[in-house]
Amino acid sequence: MRGQRTKVLPSELNKVCPERGDDPVTHPRKMSDFEVVPNLHRSSSSVSRSRRKAHFPTGSNEKENLISWIPENIRKKECTYFVESSQTSDSGRIVCECGYLREQHLEDATKPPIFLGKEWDPSRHIQEMPTDAFGDIHFTGLGQKMGKYVRVSSDTPPRVIYHLMTQHWGLDAPNLLISVTGGAKNFIMKPRLKNIFRQGLVKVAQTTGAWIITGGSHTGVMKQVGEAVRDFILSCSHKEGDIVTVGIATWGTVYNRESLVCPMGGFPAEYILDEENQGSLSCLDSNHSHFILVDDGTHGKYGVEIPLRTRLEKFISEQTKVKGGVAIKIPIVCVVLEGGPGTLDTIYNAITNGIPCVIVEGSGRVADVIAQVASLPVPRITIALIQKKLSMFFHDTYDLFTEGKLVEWTKKIQDIVRCRQLLTIFREGKYGQQDVDVAILQALFKASRNQDHFGRENWDHQLKLAVAWNRVDIARSEVFTDDHEWKPTDLHPVMAAALISNKPEFVKLFLEQGVRLKEFVTWDTLVYLYDNMAPSCLFHNKLQKVLLEESEHTAGSKMPRIQLHHVSQVLRELLGCSTQPLYPKPKHMERPRLSIPVPHIKLNVQGSSLRSLYKRSASRVTFTMDPVRDLLIWAVVQNRKELAEIIWAQSQDCMAAALACSKILKELAKEEEDTDTTDDMLALAEQYEHKAIDPAAKGDSVGALLGTKLALELRLVFLVPAWPGVFTDCYRKDEERAQKLLTRVSEAWGKTTCLQLSLEAKNMNFVSHGGVQAFLTKVWWGKMCVDNGLWRVIVCMLFFPLLYTSFITFRLQPMGCLTRLRAFFTAPVVIFHMNILSYFTFLLLFAYVLMVDFQPLPSWREYLIYFWLFSLVCEETRQLLYDPDGFGVVKMASLYFKDFWNKLDICAILVFITGLTCRLIPSTLYPGRIILSLAFIIFCLRLMHIFTVSKTLGPKIIIVKRMMKDVFFFLFLLAVWVVSFGVAKQAILIHNEERVEWLFRGVVYHSYLTIFGQIPSYIDGVNFNIDQCSPNGTDPYKPKCPETNEDNKKPIFPEWLTVILLCLYLLFTNILLLNLLIAMFNYTFQQVQEHTDQIWKFQRHDLIEEYHGRPPAPPPFILLNHLQILVQRGLLRRPATRHKQLKEKLEKNEEAALLSWEMYLKENYLQNQQCQEKQNMEQKIQDIAQRVDVLAELLDLDRVKRTGLVEQRLVFLEDQFEFPHQNDSIRGEKVYGECPFDSKVNRMKVGSGGTSP
């Protein structure tokens, strides 16, 4: 089909162009129908912004934009004058000089022209018209293979095609352009070389983000490239399998191109790959992702696409791509396999234009000819040598080479070899088995050294290429060599680019090359990094919300720029308000910006170029307090695992950094909507927690349960990491220093401590660590030795003179009498037990008053309870207002009410005050006693908090709290059945019960008691007694009677129905729901029981911290301490201070020594981790080797068995053949009197196929 035929049925048109639908019969086209002025600017901006994968079908919006944009901007070529040619078509029909049949021309082209000459002239008789072939191409019968295609004129500007590819087809600009050329016909390559080429080509394309450009046909080198891409996509995941492969072919040589013609676009166009019937034409390769079909108006003429392909490649190579702060001109390389005369011209033109070429030796013909002579001096490349090589590699077509052709080839090959910097020969085994990618990239580096870049600019250019390609191996081998000395400051721009582009290997490389983070990380650098975060990042969205709120508060129309105090605001939400702001708000909102032009760095942020961030004078640069912390936070909030790992290894305050990262990730995971990202964040948070401790050092560890030897064996079997964490190693080396690390105030992390960070992040593994628990135990016992028995403490509480003996031992010796007394009664363990004694006394006195001594006028015992309660109220007020860290009343109130036991205390106090108010009013004395009785219940529940200190009862209380949640949700299910059955029973039995209290009894109360066996006697009518109910419902002490017969007073309700309802109700409630509740309890018990020890140890801290900061005197004597605090705070204006045992600010020298020690042990941890990973790998290799040996033995055994069976069968066959021969010999002996042959000779003859004489 060429253009539009004269008569096309709608059904036929529908097959070719499914978008047309049931259009009426289409008339032949005229040239006047195509007079449309192209407009490149009609492309929608939304299309340019929407980046979609090229392998996906076109969406409705993209389809509409393509249908409107392509015909206006892209043309095809049509023959407008039919002139008979002396040649005929393959079927013997008359064709035009253009190669098309008469019916494949426009209607005007077949009319006798007057103004045109009789001779056919392509410059005059071929005209451009809007293209009629574009859209999605689907290869029928080959699964879901989908690509993009467009038919373009051979005179189409390259910028239009590039605009189509990047804006409408959704392709990202390439980091590299690989033009593959060579033999257009199928050729044979060595299997090993073929595999090396395929793997290397797709590796360089996939790792660098390159475009591969070929001829697009399903033959020759194009087929090799397509199969390489196909194998890569099949072996990789969907995310890794996107390789852009562009086929630029001649429209007139494409077989079955009629199926691609559709004026409104084919979405998709079904294309059949039919190699058997293609004849002299070629089919498109199904493994290419995009096709540009070049049309010059002729049919069957190859090579039409070469000029446009050359212009397009040159145009793309002149474009500058900016990504992650690195701006490079897109490099191009030509890869050659096999090939003939046309390939030689392509290589010559490429070398002439300064394009590096990689010749694959061993692929055949031209590639091998050039590879053989490439290493020779140019004078030695003679005509005779070329003639010899041609006779060697061109067997079939050697006779076609004339003497003039030989001279021309020799000259071209000499010119090619003369530019050795642009020529790279890939030889099998020279670069390694799969290093075609290295050869390609090294060819580009070799060429770049001899082009437009000189000196340092040349090295910068090569480094930017390596960063853009994400090939750190190339950077190590080609850029960071002894030929050039890099200054650390020269690497700062590419360091920022590597951070933004998430290239951790380059960050690691730059750190190895001497980049100092203290010099690299400035205030402006951090702003730049946060300004270039991915829009899809959750932290970026939170920053935008902060900026939006600030713009609303300031009533400004313009959105403010990101500043570090905005970042600090979001970080404080994630780290918790117990931390101070990491970045203080500057006095002047706008910082002065610099704009220094730097060559090849074109990415500007708010008027400041990337390199200009590092070109300031020392007086103008603002450095941050902790650059490692700043970069670590920036990487963690974006969930960049490898990058954060590298930066954390540089940190000094590593344990606090790991715990802070764990807290940030857990908070972000709560708000993240993507479940996969949430799982990644939680896994990374757990990993950072384990950096601080050994996973096997937890309270419920494998080693603790199974013993050290068995745990070690399990770790060896399952290859579980067993190296100790940083804190574990610190605790093993020096307990005192390790405990200082827990309570040291970290200025870098908002003046908080490691212990506080772990509590904020709920890192139970860390808090339950033996070292942390030992520290908490030490705090619990105060200045006493932890090995004192609890019974000794209780005895000394009752008889304190024993303190002056050796009955109780203290850590500090010697101690004076008053010091001993004070140290004992200020210990948290003593304060706790004295408060227990006080609380039990309060409850006993309260119970006695309620049951025995509740008089109209309060007795002295009741007044004592009121005074006691007042001391409890004062203590709760102190806890609410106690603010040693300066958080403020609002924050302290929120922290106070987060605790469940504080809520219970407030509830008990409020109920008690309500009951006391009623009790003091004579008319409400009795209700007051009732309310006070309820308050007593709540005060008794408070005892559970006291029992949490017990290792036996504490975990059980935790399980009870979890089960209470199960009961709460279970009641919703139970209420459905209770209410439904109660309402139905009440409506069936009783008519118009108007008393609300009895209505509630019948619907809810009786239905609930039925579950426990109290079945109503009247529900079946057998035990009905009219004396137990009120017929009219007038008796307030009796329920209303059911529906009865007025004559004999017998119930008339359907007894069978009520009995069935009762049975169903009991079935579902007693059997189903109650067993469901038991199952829920069992699941909760098992789930909590596994981690009960961790949970108890974690919550133990809260109890220790509470009594560590509590006044030593128990209620009601605690009022004396409150009076002392009131004098200090109110009159003397002394601020609240936290005890040094839980939060201690060290001197600078002491802190520096402690951090140095921590950093030293962190390095040991990292080395042990690397050694362990290496050992694990060696263990895996040994296991695999053992399995291979076992498999080899089995194969040998199987081979021996098979060999034995074969030998047995051969012997059996020999015996079968030997027996008849012996009979023949016997017969011959009788008849002829001859002797038989020897059996061995017979076997030889039988084996050789001979017969006996």
The rounded distance, in Å, linking the Cα atoms of 953 and 943 is 12
Handedness of CA 11, 13, 15, 17 (dihedral sign): negative
Q: Measure the N-to-C terminal CA separation of the chain; round to a whole number of Å.
A: 76
3-class secondary structure per residue, 760-829: HCCCHHHHCCHHHHHHHHHHHCCCECCCCCHHHHHHHHHCHHHHHCCCCCECCCCCCHHHHHHHHHCCHH
CA nearest neighbour of 661 among 634, 642, 679: 634
Spatial contact of 198 and 227, defined as CB atoms under 8 Å apart? yes
The rounded distance, in Å, linking the Cα atoms of 844 and 940 is 10
- The one-letter amino acid code at 452 reads D
Spatial contact of 784 and 808, defined as CB atoms under 8 Å apart? yes
Q: Is the pLDDT of residue 1247 over 50?
A: no
The β-bridge partners of 746 are 752
Q: Return the structure tokens found at 786.
A: 């932890």
Q: What is the pLDDT of residues 934-987, one digit of tens each?
A: 999 999 998 888 888 887 788 888 888 888 888 888 888 888 989 998 899 888
The rounded distance, in Å, linking the Cα atoms of 172 and 244 is 10
The pLDDT of residue 1088 is: 78
Whether the ω angle into residue 1116 lies within 30 degrees of 0, i.e. cis, is yes
Q: Is the pLDDT of residue 1231 over 50?
A: no
Q: Return the structure tokens found at 916.
A: 């006391």
Question: How many CB atoms within 10 Å of residue 1013?
Answer: 8
Spatial contact of 196 and 224, defined as CB atoms under 8 Å apart? no
Q: What is the pLDDT of residues 28-61, one digit of tens each?
A: 444 333 333 334 444 433 333 334 344 445 667 7
Q: How deeply is 297 buried, as exposed, middle or buried, from its count of CB atoms within 10 A (0-12, 13-18, 19+)?
A: buried
Q: What is the pLDDT of residues 372-391, one digit of tens each?
A: 998 888 888 888 888 888 88
Q: Which distant-in-sequence residues (6+ apart) come within 8 Å of 1062 by Cβ?
A: 981, 985, 1010, 1015, 1019
Q: Return the structure tokens found at 121.
A: 């002239």
- The one-letter amino acid code at 68 reads S
Q: What is the pLDDT of residues 624-660, one digit of tens each?
A: 778 999 999 999 999 999 999 999 999 988 999 999 9
Q: Is the pLDDT of residue 26 over 50?
A: no
Mean pLDDT (whole number) for 340-363 = 90
Spatial contact of 1162 and 654, defined as CB atoms under 8 Å apart? yes
The pLDDT of residue 251 is: 94
Spatial contact of 1228 and 1234, defined as CB atoms under 8 Å apart? yes
Q: What is the pLDDT of residues 84-137, one digit of tens each?
A: 888 887 777 888 889 888 888 877 776 655 545 567 788 888 889 999 999 999
Q: Return the structure tokens found at 894.
A: 């929120």
Spatial contact of 349 and 342, defined as CB atoms under 8 Å apart? no
The rounded distance, in Å, linking the Cα atoms of 585 and 577 is 16
State whether residue 87 is helix, strand or coil: strand
Q: What is the pLDDT of residues 787-835, one digit of tens each?
A: 888 899 999 988 888 888 888 898 887 788 888 899 999 999 999 999 9
**Mean pLDDT of all residues belonging to the chain:** 80
Bridge-based pairing of strands 423-426 and 290-295 is unpaired
Spatial contact of 752 and 746, defined as CB atoms under 8 Å apart? yes
The pLDDT of residue 1009 is: 87
Q: Is the pLDDT of residue 843 over 90?
A: yes
Of residues 174 and 703, which shows the higher confidence score?
174
- Structure-token match 């020298």, residue found: 1149
pLDDT-above-90 percentage for the chain: 30
- Structure-token match 């879901």, residue found: 144
Spatial contact of 123 and 76, defined as CB atoms under 8 Å apart? no
Half-sphere exposure of 1065 (CA within 13 A, CB side): 27
Give how far Cα 148 sits from Cα of 202, 288, 537, Å.
Answer: 20, 9, 31
The pLDDT of residue 695 is: 52
CA nearest neighbour of 355 among 161, 157, 224, 178: 178
Of residues 464 and 1024, which shows the higher confidence score?
464
The rounded distance, in Å, linking the Cα atoms of 1239 and 1232 is 19
Q: Which distant-in-sequence residues (6+ apart) come within 8 Å of 377 by Cβ?
A: none
CA dihedral 1201, 1205, 1206, 1212 (to 10 degrees): 160
The rounded distance, in Å, linking the Cα atoms of 399 and 390 is 10
Mean pLDDT (whole number) for 904-913 = 95
- The one-letter amino acid code at 771 reads G
The pLDDT of residue 313 is: 92
The pLDDT of residue 660 is: 93
For helices 383-393 and 403-418, angle between their N-to-C axes, nearest 10 degrees: 100
Half-sphere exposure of 767 (CA within 13 A, CB side): 23
The pLDDT of residue 1138 is: 59
Spatial contact of 917 and 928, defined as CB atoms under 8 Å apart? yes
CA nearest neighbour of 291 among 187, 142, 138, 172: 138
Gyration radius from the chain CA atoms: 45
Of residues 742 and 599, which shows the higher confidence score?
742
Q: Is the pLDDT of residue 714 over 60?
A: no
Q: Return the structure tokens found at 473.
A: 């191996």
The β-bridge partners of 210 are 176
The pLDDT of residue 495 is: 92
* Exposure string over 52-88, b if 16+ CB within 10 A, otherwise e: eebbeebeeebbebbbebbbebbbbbbbbbbbeeeee
The rounded distance, in Å, linking the Cα atoms of 655 and 648 is 10
Question: How many CB atoms within 10 Å of residue 1090?
Answer: 11
Q: Is the pLDDT of residue 672 over 60?
A: yes
Mean pLDDT (whole number) for 171-186 = 90
- The one-letter amino acid code at 762 reads K
Q: Is the pLDDT of residue 596 over 60?
A: no
Chain-centroid distance of CA 918 in Å reads: 62
The pLDDT of residue 622 is: 61
The pLDDT of residue 836 is: 93
Chain-centroid distance of CA 109 in Å reads: 60
